[in-house]
Amino acid sequence: MEPQHMKYVDLKGRELPLGGLDAQERRLVAELQQRAKSHPDWDDFENYWTAAVASFYDARGLPRRESREKLVYKIAQDLSSRLAVSAGLARPPDYRDELEEIIRMSFPTRREFCKATGLSEDMLSHVLAHRKHLAIDTLSQALDRIGFQLRIVPRRESAVSSGVGSGGSEDE
Amino acid sequence: MTSDRLVECSFLIPTHRDQELSDGELHSIDAWNWLTDQLYGLFKAWTRVPGLHRGMWESAKTGKPVPDQSRRYIVAIPEARIDELRRLLAEACSVFHQQCIYLSVAGQVEFVQAPLGGAAQESPGPEGP
């Protein structure tokens, strides 16, 4: 199985191609997957992966704000997320959490987001507090106004994968 | 040399969203990952204390005691960067849908609130009895 053809599928069903990882990064990913399997306690793994990934990239002289964009960081965080969800300590995100993330990343305030999408502030407040849902056409129109769209993706296995190339990782 | 002195700060993040501001449900994994991203980007070292910490606080809205359980984080930072941590926790109030977050700075306790106009402030909760 050639590394350039492998990919990691995260909790949200996004495919992360592993072809760009160098040998040391691939080794670190394999170690983290093994660690998540052998030490599935969420706190333990969270402390472990953040220290392991930080020291790996700190040694390469990479600033933290850059190393947290690396694929290895995202895979490690996803492994941790799977442990939290399978232990019932956190829930997988739904569209309302993703809306909240869009607001946090792209808009200075909720008010600005509402102006851009045409949603009312009152409705948004209820939706983000998980007290109400948006109708699918309302959500679709609101997202379209800010350059996003709804997408249906296959549901993925939420078990921790046992190594690069199996479980959360797949051949193309 | 004073600016190099490290101060131990610890803070508590409740495991559930506030039930007066929000729905009282478990946080989405995105919220925890946001916190990890921030800590990773800002500070050289921190730890999450294993296990859950059970506690009780009095709701300012209802005057009733509210039991909760939290995850505890410890960060050792220079005194000059404590305000950065406060700002992070103010934002965390919004991300985690909390009224405030317990912060201990070298044993001195404070409660960090969401900034005015922050998401937590904008979410009207159900009226208390």
Task: Provide ipTM, 2 decimals.
Answer: 0.85
Of B30, B39, B41, the CB nearest to A97: B30
Number of cross-chain residue pairs from A and B with Cβ atoms under 8 Å apart: 87
What sign results for the dihedral spanned by CA atoms B72, B73, B76, B80? Answer: negative
What is the pLDDT, as a whole number, of residue A151?
Answer: 83
Residue of A110, A132, A156, A158 to mutate, testing the B interface (most B Cβ within 10 Å of its Cβ): A110
List chain B pLDDT tens, one digit each, 129 residues: 445 789 999 999 999 999 988 899 999 999 999 999 999 999 988 999 999 999 998 888 888 898 999 999 999 999 999 999 999 999 999 999 999 999 999 999 999 998 765 544 333 333 332
What is the pLDDT, as a whole number, of residue B118?
Answer: 52
> Residues A101-138, buried b or exposed e (16+ Cβ, 10 A)?
bebbeebeebeebbeebebeeeebbbbbbbeeebeeee
Mean pLDDT along residues A76-105: 93
What is the pLDDT, as a whole number, of residue B79?
Answer: 94
d(CA A131, CA A154): 26
Taking alpha carbons only, the member of A92, A95, A74 closest to residue A83 is: A92
For the stretch A45-75, pLDDT in tens is: 999 999 999 999 999 999 999 999 999 999 9
Of B36, B39, B122, the CB nearest to A77: B36
Q: Count the domains in chain A.
A: 1
Interface contact flag, A84 B32, Cβ < 8 Å? yes
Interface contact flag, A84 B119, Cβ < 8 Å? no
Interface contact flag, A128 B119, Cβ < 8 Å? yes
What is the pLDDT, as a whole number, of residue B123?
Answer: 35
Closest-CA residue in chain A for B116? A109
Q: Which residue has the higher pLDDT, A86 or A166?
A: A86
Per CB-CB distance under 8 Å, the chain A contacts of B124 are: 125
Of B32, B37, B125, the CB nearest to A90: B32
Domain around A68? 1-172
pTM across the whole model: 0.84
Q: What is the DSSP letter of B80?
A: G
For the stretch A106-165, pLDDT in tens is: 999 899 999 999 999 999 999 998 889 999 999 999 999 999 998 887 766 543 343 443
Interface contact flag, A64 B40, Cβ < 8 Å? yes
What separation in angstroms does the CA of A116 have from each of A26, A97, A125, B31? 42, 18, 15, 24
Taking alpha carbons only, the member of B101, B46, B33, B113 closest to residue A75 is: B33
> SS in 3 state form for A107-143?
CCCHHHHHHHHCCCHHHHHHHHCCCCCCCHHHHHHHH
What is the pLDDT, as a whole number, of residue A12?
Answer: 85
Taking alpha carbons only, the member of B122, B66, B116, B21 closest to residue A130 is: B21
Torsion angles phi and psi, residue B28, rounded to 5: -70, 155
Enter the tokens of residue B75.
């960060």
Q: Which residue has the tokens 């501001």?
A: B21
What separation in angstroms does the CA of B41 have from each of A2, A53, B27, B36, B104? 33, 12, 21, 8, 21
* pLDDT above 60 (res A172): no
Strand ranges across the sheet with A15-17: A15-17, A6-9, A169-171
What is the pLDDT, as a whole number, of residue A81?
Answer: 96
Q: Residues of chain A whose C-beta is under 8 A from some C-beta in B?
A: 11, 41, 43-44, 46-47, 50, 54, 64-65, 68, 73, 77, 80-81, 84-85, 88-94, 97-98, 100-101, 103-104, 109-110, 121, 125, 128-131
Q: Residues of chain B whose C-beta is under 8 A from some C-beta in A?
A: 15, 17, 21-23, 25-34, 36-37, 39-42, 47-51, 71, 95, 97, 117, 119, 122-125
* pLDDT above 80 (res A14): yes
Per CB-CB distance under 8 Å, the chain A contacts of B37 are: 68
Per CB-CB distance under 8 Å, the chain A contacts of B17 are: 129-130
User: How many angstroms separate the CA of residue B75 from the nearest CA in chain A?
Assistant: 12
